[in-house]
Amino acid sequence: MSEAAAIAAPARARVRSGAWLAPAMIVLCSLAAYCVAAAATHQTGQISVDGFVGLIQRTVALGIVALGQTLAILVGSIDLSVATLVSVGAVMASWMMQGQPDMMVPASLFVLALSALVGVANGLIVTQLRVNPLIATLGVGLVLQGILSASFQDFAGSVPKEFQIFAYGTVGPVTLSILLMFALALVEWLALSRTRFGAHVYATGGNPEGARLAGIKTARVVVLAHMLCSLAAGLTGLYLASRLRSGAPWVGRDGVYDLESIAVVVIGGTVLAGGKGGVWGTMSGVILFGCLDAIFTMAGVDAFIKQVLRGAIVVAAVAAYAYRTKGHVA
């Protein structure tokens, strides 16, 4: 185990030093651009506590999914099944609750357990069957979406009023769901930077052979990362069910959480190959996406042009990190 720690040490150091700078810059620039856009379009009402809370609220669903995706990517894997799992979580929650408050806890626990199971399945297919993670999670996503859409055609059931506190409840001016997202980010950051699990995650993603030689059970780390990633997606499903009062089999797909979560993770500086990056980068990517959307809306940019710009920004942002990479990238 000491060897493992030795391998992980440089990774940990890399996380600490300067890891704050790029994310902080991204957040500051995004918020500055947001304020400028609000002022330029005479919508100064948006530069207020309520305005910022509204801005962050829009990013909560993507944010929680992306926190999970960060783990999957850090261990050198990826998860394309998250969007489907969001739908599964939302539908199963509202279908099981059927508006009854006493079903809130069992339904939520069931959704989380199911998500964890899917995550473990993803992890096992990747590690034991050695299927490329893109295909493995794409396949699992297709299977889940197929069964879900064949079983439910519309909003299924509903959540009780009490459950909506999850999405709409507030503490002072801030909503509970925003606090939850930041709390999760904090926990994940602590876990990644202060625990052995975190060290193993970086080691597994950065140099799987070395990590294995150093005694790290890399397969177990990958499965665990996938499980946590899926849990985050399931939790997002619960959040959406709470926010929409019900779940439908298309809520995840319509949110494009699979591709957008990958995009914000890499915009935040996490390397697609794994082993490098972290939570605050991802959160900064999420805030950048939120600000962009708000700016486009304020400026009245047409939905199609918005899509062109979004694609260009993803490529440009990743290029800004990647162009100094040595060697070839495929």
Instruction: Kindly state whether residue 312 participates in binding another protein, applying the rule CB under 8 A.
Output: yes
Tokens of 70: 């960060």
Of the pair 16, 173, the CB lying nearest another protein is at: 173
- What's the min distance (Å) between Cβ of 59 and another protein? 10
Total residues in contact with another protein, by rule CB under 8 A: 87
Of the pair 43, 100, the CB lying nearest another protein is at: 43
Instruction: Kindly state whether residue 98 participates in binding another protein, applying the rule CB under 8 A.
Output: no
Any residues with CB less than 8 A from the CB of 152 and at least 6 apart, and which? 91, 95, 248, 249
SS3 at position 170: strand
Instruction: Kindly state whether residue 101 participates in binding another protein, applying the rule CB under 8 A.
Output: no
- What's the min distance (Å) between Cβ of 5 and another protein? 28
Contacts of 182-187 spanning 24+ positions with Cβ under 8 A: 184/64, 184/67, 184/232, 185/63, 185/67, 185/279, 185/280, 185/282, 185/283
Residues 26-55 that bind another protein (CB under 8 A): 43, 45-46, 50, 54
- What's the min distance (Å) between Cβ of 2 and another protein? 29
Of the pair 186, 305, the CB lying nearest another protein is at: 305
DSSP 8-state symbol, 329: -
Window contacting another protein (CB under 8 A); options: 23-31, 176-184, 254-262, 276-284: 254-262
Selected binder of another protein within 19, 199, 248, 287 (CB under 8 A): 248
Strands (E) across the chain are located at: 170-171, 174-175
Distance CA 81, CA 136 (A): 9
Return the closest-CA partner of residue 291 out of 51, 2, 3: 51
Instruction: Kindly state whether residue 302 participates in binding another protein, applying the rule CB under 8 A.
Output: yes
Residues 125-164 that bind another protein (CB under 8 A): 125, 128-132, 134-136, 138-156, 158, 164
Question: Mask: binding to another protein, 226-245, rule CB under 8 A, as x and -?
Answer: --------------x--xxx
Instruction: Kindly state whether residue 14 participates in binding another protein, applying the rule CB under 8 A.
Output: no
Residues 164-193 that bind another protein (CB under 8 A): 164
The burial class, CB within 10 Å (0-12 / 13-18 / 19+), for 322 is middle
Distance CA 318, CA 44 (A): 32
